[in-house]
Structure 1
Amino acid sequence: MNQAADQGYRDKFAAACVAFRGTKRLTLVLYDVTTLFFQVEQEDEYRKPGLSKERRLEPQIVVGLLVDERGFPLQLHSFEGNKAETLTLVPVLDAFRAQHPEVTVSVACDAGMLSAANLLALEDAGYSFIVGSRIAKTPPDVAAYQHDGSELSDGQIFESRQWFGRGETRRERRVVYQYREKRARLDLRNIEKQVEKAKKVVAGTTPVKKGRFLKISGASKSVDGALVESARQRAGMKGYVTNLPVLTAPALTVIDAYHQLFNVEASFRMAKTDLKARPIYHRQREKIEAHLTVVFCAIAISRHIQEVTGVSVKKCVQQLARVQDGVVSIAGVEHIVPAAIPGEVRELLTRLGRSGAGH
């Protein structure tokens, strides 16, 4: 484990991952973070309490994972447990560019990374991005369309340019909006649930709590009708902010790229479940980083196995675990009895063999 840190195993493996995927096809990368908690009472300079993805109070670390558009890992970095998500993206991209200066990529990340300062830092560092946008009010183009009584159609797209930031750092960027009927149904259901909660508070049947549509003025409580109507108008809308030009990335390309983020989320789920990234029993940072290097390697191998076999890692392990040679002792002499390989296992091994033939 000491060698993993001293000899830069993770950097070497990360370089091998990029070479394995090929730099010519690498134009989009996806980024997300997760947290890993430690069952310890005392924090240190690395393991600190912070905003936990699992709503835990224990000291934790923040892990940032950079993957290609199919979820294959390219970089993994860890940060102090109280590090803000928005402050992890640029260091990870800088590390990737330092290793591969010849590769130009765009990064997609979720709305949690969206802040004026963060986008400014990305642009100033020369990166192009696609980020999910929180919609606080109905976009002007959408409002104008709805004002005439026109109904939105499934998949309808609007594009506009908006200003982000203040003062000298204020910049104009593309914003793409898309309406989806399925998303609208879910949004409207959630809105109605929140309205009902607010009504119960107003009626006095539920204790006063902070609610999305609850309007409190002194001792008076009411449902904020204007806010409810505004939320209903926005139901089904999703925004995407990018600094990529239209010719390089048309609206559908921007939307499709953002929706690939489920691949990095899948890699994180794999790390936490199939690969058992925690519990981590180490306390020194070098040892923890070595543990994460093993997890990083395992994610890469697991994603590759899934791609070439079409079988989940869990199922693949279950099938291969059944194949075991036997040892029989006859007159003091041990004999190896080769395992019988079932047809589905043989097919798995054949697919893996084919995938490795050219590497």
Structure 2
Amino acid sequence: MYIRRKKYPSGNVGIIVVEKISGKMKELTTIGIAKSDEEVEALVKRGQEWIDREQQRRHPRLDLFGEERIRFERERMNAERLLNSITNIAIDGADLILDKVFDNVGFDRIEDDIFRKLVKARLSYPASKSATVEYLKNHFDDDVSLSKIYRYLDKLSDSQHSIAQDISVGHTRKILGGHIGVLFYDVTTLYFESDYEDELRKTGFSKEGRHKNPQIILGLLVSIGGYPLAYCIHEGNKYEGHTMLPVVTEFVRRYKLEDFIVVADSGLMNSDNVAELEANGYKYIIGAKIKTESKKIKEWILSQPKIDCQMVEYDKGDGKRLLVGYTDDRARKDAYNREKGLRRLEKAYRRGTLTKENINKRGYNKFLTMEGDVKVSIDYDKLETDAKWDGLKGYLTNTDIPASQVYAAYHNLWHVEQAFRISKSKIEIRPMFHFTRRRIEAHICICFVALKVYKELERLLKLTGINMSVDKVLALAQSIVTIQITLPQNKHTISRTMLMKRHQCIAPLFSDDFWVTR
């Protein structure tokens, strides 16, 4: 026996109990005629009760667990009604966390829903804009057209870039106790999957080995802890040393910084840059090119005893100090790398594949020398000279802080390197498939904000003792769903984010109380 719903020409629905006997369907009884969905559900329930009574009449039995069985059956029917009331399931665990962090930093000041969605997508599902559209549709049933995203990128104004930077700087100042103190600057290159250059995308020396692809140079200014402060983009063939001073000067002017130190790698510095830093009254710590110092200074450096983790100081006058440190670990690494490079050169030499094109100052080709116009050989005297510098690292500064603090500040440059690694591997800032300057700038701005959100979530995890990386938290959160149920009688909608046992380690992130004091 089972319940059949019979629809009449009038639109009403008859609820009938039928039974298949000898291959033919027989109507046993009509429970009633329903005019609405609510009446249908009520009659179906009555029909099921009629079937239960009829089966009990036909097959009477001693039921020792009748009340319990009825409770179980009622529980099952209630569960089925509940499941039938589900109107939406969103895979939004990571999205809910990123929403909270986004607002916690203060980016909710930018009242643009597309901007928020693109930033969160860079962190939870970094992909092309076309793939982002599919992600939003599949996970959130959110119909954002690709053309709408492109129109948004085209109109993303310079003022919005400035607001995003102001928010990032303001939040960073707050978490650092109101004082930024140290500015770390470095650059990287971002390539394009294209064969054509324009006024911005140009071929140049690529840090990623993509020398044939047009690229841009991205400069990034971060604070201690790696929190992004400002960025700049330049033509792909521009000398990276010319990118730092404009962005630092503009940042200092805009935010009225005082008592700060600029820290940068030696590759970004030349005598003109150092002179300009001093002319502006900036304090700095930069990597020193000790092998290109004057003969007198080089002799002094090599005459110093090499004691592990010890630093010596040379007064260069005019307030400039040259600090030279030595470590056994660096010495072993320098020797290993040189031997590795030598073996590569010797292998090429034996094969006869060394040519004058190999003669340059990069890498271990510096140990080659050219005799006449055709013969290239390895200069082993250069190897012996180079070995004298193993383990030595120089730092140039015009500050008066202790040598240990100079060392610590310079080696915090890894925060910028980490920021670039996050941008490239987690946020997937490149390769870029945009071709207009406006869209390129908009894409960089979105990735800059995504990096800030990433670093803020990383800070909160450490602060609250959640011993997991940002990547693991977001990966786990992507298995969390929010279920939406619409009650059949009053049409009221209830939503519930479902945290399973495996999610308890990140459960605090889904509590409103967690974000009240952060």
In which range does the TM-score fall when normalised by the shorter chain? Answer: 0.7 to 0.9
The runs of at least 4 aligned residues of structure 1 exceeding 6 Å deviation read: 219-222, 328-335
After TM superposition, give the deviation of residue 126 of structure 1 in Å. 2.5
Q: Distance between the aligned counterparts of 1:33 and 1:339, measured in 2?
A: 43
Residue equivalent to 1:314: 471
Question: What runs of 5+ residues in structure 1 fail to find an aligned partner?
Answer: 147-151, 164-170
Residue equivalent to 1:120: 275
- Residues 302 and 389, structure 2, Cα contact 8 Å, conserved in 1: no
Matches within 5 A, 1:195-274: 195-196=342-343, 204=350, 206-209=352-355, 210=358, 211-218=365-372, 224-244=379-399, 246=400, 249-274=401-426
Q: Distance between the aligned counterparts of 2:200 and 2:228, measured in 1?
A: 23
Q: Distance between the aligned counterparts of 1:63 and 1:198, measured in 2?
A: 33
Matches within 5 A, 1:181-192: 181-192=328-339
The amino acid that maps onto 1:48 is K
Structure-2 change in CA distance of 1:97 and 1:231 (3 Å): same
Q: Distance between the aligned counterparts of 1:298 and 1:230, measured in 2?
A: 47
* Residue from 70, 85, 92 that aligns with 2:240: 85
The amino acid that maps onto 1:19 is G
Q: Distance between the aligned counterparts of 1:187 and 1:31, measured in 2?
A: 25
After TM superposition, give the deviation of residue 327 of structure 1 in Å. 4.8
* 1:174 counterpart = 2:321: yes
The amino acid that maps onto 1:300 is K
CA deviation vs aligned residue, 1:169-225 (integer Å, no higher than 9, x gap)? xx77321111011110011112233444566677x5554354433444448876544
Aligned length: 340
Matches within 5 A, 1:22-61: 22=173, 24-56=178-210, 57-61=212-216
Between 71-80 and 47-56, the greater mean CA deviation after superposition: 47-56
CA deviation vs aligned residue, 1:230-257 (integer Å, no higher than 9, x gap)? 211110001111122x3xx211111111
CA deviation vs aligned residue, 1:20-65 (integer Å, no higher than 9, x gap)? 1227331101111111112223211111222211121222111111
Residue equivalent to 1:193: 340
Residue equivalent to 1:357: 516
The amino acid that maps onto 2:256 is P
Q: Distance between the aligned counterparts of 1:198 and 1:267, measured in 2?
A: 34
- Residues 5 and 289, structure 1, Cα contact 8 Å, conserved in 2: no
- Residues 109 and 261, structure 1, Cα contact 8 Å, conserved in 2: yes
Q: Distance between the aligned counterparts of 1:26 and 1:336, measured in 2?
A: 42
Residue equivalent to 1:160: 314
TM-score (norm 1): 0.84
- Residues 174 and 242, structure 1, Cα contact 8 Å, conserved in 2: yes
- Residues 499 and 507, structure 2, Cα contact 8 Å, conserved in 1: no
Residue equivalent to 2:3: none
Q: Distance between the aligned counterparts of 1:50 and 1:217, measured in 2?
A: 30
Aligned Cα root-mean-square deviation (Å): 2.8
TM-score (norm 2): 0.60
Structure-2 change in CA distance of 1:353 and 1:77 (3 Å): farther
After TM superposition, give the deviation of residue 328 of structure 1 in Å. 6.4
* Residue from 37, 54, 70 that aligns with 2:225: 70
Residue equivalent to 2:452: 300
* Residue from 165, 168, 171 that aligns with 1:20: 171
* 1:141 counterpart = 2:300: yes
Greater helix percent: which structure?
A: 2
Between 304-313 and 268-277, the greater mean CA deviation after superposition: 304-313
Q: Distance between the aligned counterparts of 2:508 and 2:429, measured in 1?
A: 29
- Residues 154 and 181, structure 1, Cα contact 8 Å, conserved in 2: yes
Partner of 1:48: helix, strand, or coil? Answer: coil
Structure-2 change in CA distance of 1:226 and 1:289 (3 Å): same
Structure-2 change in CA distance of 1:196 and 1:318 (3 Å): closer
Q: Distance between the aligned counterparts of 2:181 and 2:426, measured in 1?
A: 29
Residue equivalent to 1:340: 499
The amino acid that maps onto 1:59 is P
Structure-2 change in CA distance of 1:52 and 1:130 (3 Å): same
Q: Distance between the aligned counterparts of 2:376 and 2:453, measured in 1?
A: 57
Partner of 2:340: helix, strand, or coil? Answer: helix
What percentage of aligned pairs have identical amino acids? 29
CA deviation vs aligned residue, 1:138-163 (integer Å, no higher than 9, x gap)? 833332235xxxxx221011111348
Partner of 2:445: helix, strand, or coil? Answer: helix
